[in-house]
Structure 1
């Protein structure tokens, strides 16, 4: 059993890389990829925690890409997390995220939700502050009943405290991952809200520009979606990958490795990724 899509405290998860490794071992996983949002800060701690373990630890990242309808993320596997170009580009994203975060705080305050920046920082982990930390701060201050309510009322795209931030295009994300020696994979394609013919056209265009895989096996994909994306992968010569998108307490019903209980990511996915980078 493998899980190729997880998050730690270095982005918007609630577990350290060492805790993820321990949990993966306890659940009988053979491989775990850390794919934090727009940061590689957790990769070295992941390697340190996995040293001497039977668990294979995979360096990864999840880059946010421009998307007019829904959400587009590009996963990168087996990246060189010390690559200078990669570090420079994600630093630009980080700066844009910081500007966005302070604007979110201003909007919340203007709407009457009295938060301080320290309230949000207290909920963040070791690295990137994101909307889930705003949501938890709102809950802790008793201003909303739950994280879901915070997103539904305030923080989700289109809601009054939502602020757009700087993102690269999908093609730029692919190029960046390739330059860092990794394999770019389209994450959870069902979150891109396009009709099937347009979505497939988008995937075909990305494949022509170096996309290496598509995340067919995903905790929130219905069986028909999994089958559809598997067929597209076969047609376009893409690797079928998968994972839970585990965030720890931020996704309490989601289990590492199995998602909501039914997810099984084939070992072949990891073997094909390794072959693609010459391992």
Structure 2
């Protein structure tokens, strides 16, 4: 069974619609897919409807990816099997969306001071109601010729210490774990190697995540080496986490794909060990 528990649609910073995403997942042989847009569950209803109407052989896991603050770092926590209709959870996500808008306004203001005007209206139009991210800014700056690639935008304008960078004011990591679990879900530390922490700081992050009653760590991503996967699983065992897998898919590329290389070895206890994944159907569970 091919399982992918981290993906994005155009409801945040992905390029595919929820319908396009689930169709691509089926095309790539994925059996169970979590849609985990940034601080929003807006894409889940369309995805579920498409799976049901088209009778797709795909099991949808209701998910979200919450941006959080820990120490001086932005840490992403994926929520799996959350109840997307939970009123308090939706209210909590709304506070995150307001933070995103406030950050976008300040980013636009700073870019304007460096002779790049009118960024916010263009970014809002590009996002078209989606959760605002720096990716939307990067796409716009490429579109207007300020850089020739997304990576160069972050190096020149949006990375830490650059002219358009604004420090985040996200929810505390431990509080985000509480949000997810109160909505019936399990909290997963997303892509731990992307934060570029040394071993000491990574262990500190995992210890604090354990103290916050986090559930699992995403130990498998497409770009990781086998040794990195083994090292992450050893840390999971040390802190008693289960393991999750996710492509963090945003758009079709030559280096990343839904469900690609997301395998676990037999000695690893997956986050889904108690889920009814054997019953692949069109309904979320």
Same fold (TM over 0.5): yes
Task: Tell me the equivalent position of 2:280.
Answer: none
Q: Distance in 2 between matches of 1:209 and 1:117?
A: 36
1:11 maps onto 2:34 in alignment: no
Q: 1:232 to 1:139 in 2, by over 3 A?
A: same
Is the CA contact 2:4–2:262 (under 8 Å) kept in the aligned structure 1?
no
Point out where structure 1 has 5 or more consecutive residues left out of the alignment: none
Aligned residue number for residue 176 of structure 1: 179
1:201 has 2:204 as partner: yes
Answer with 138-147 or 54-63: which moved more: 138-147
Q: Which residue pairs with 1:213 in the alignment? A: 216
1:2 aligns with: 3
Shift of 1:141: 1.4
Q: Per-residue deviation at 1:187? A: 0.7
For residues 220-239 of structure 1, the aligned pairs below 5 Å read 220-239=223-242
1:73 deviates by 0.8
1: CA distance, partners of 2:120 / 2:205: 39
Q: Which runs of 4+ in 1 moved over 4 A?
A: 265-268
| Aligned match of 2:279 | none
What is the distance in 1 between the residues matched to 2:245 and 2:231?
A: 14
Aligned-partner Cα distance in 1 for 2:211–2:72: 21
Deviation at 1:70, TM superposition (A): 4.5
Q: What per-residue deviation string (whole Å, max 9, x for no partner) do you get for residues 217-244 of structure 1?
A: 0123332221111112223321100111
TM-score (norm 2): 0.88
Unaligned runs of 5+ in 2: 277-284
Q: What residue is the counterpart of 1:188 in the other structure?
A: 191
Q: Which residue of 2 aligns with 1:101?
A: 104
User: Which residue of the partner structure matches residue 256 of structure 2?
Assistant: 254
Answer yes or no: is 1:58 the counterpart of 2:61: yes
Normalized against structure 1, the TM-score is what? 0.90
Contact 2:3 2:262 in 1 (8 A): no
1:91 and 2:94 are equivalent in the alignment = yes
Deviations 1:163-216, CA, capped at 9 Å, x for gaps: 123211111011110100000011111133433233223312322321110000
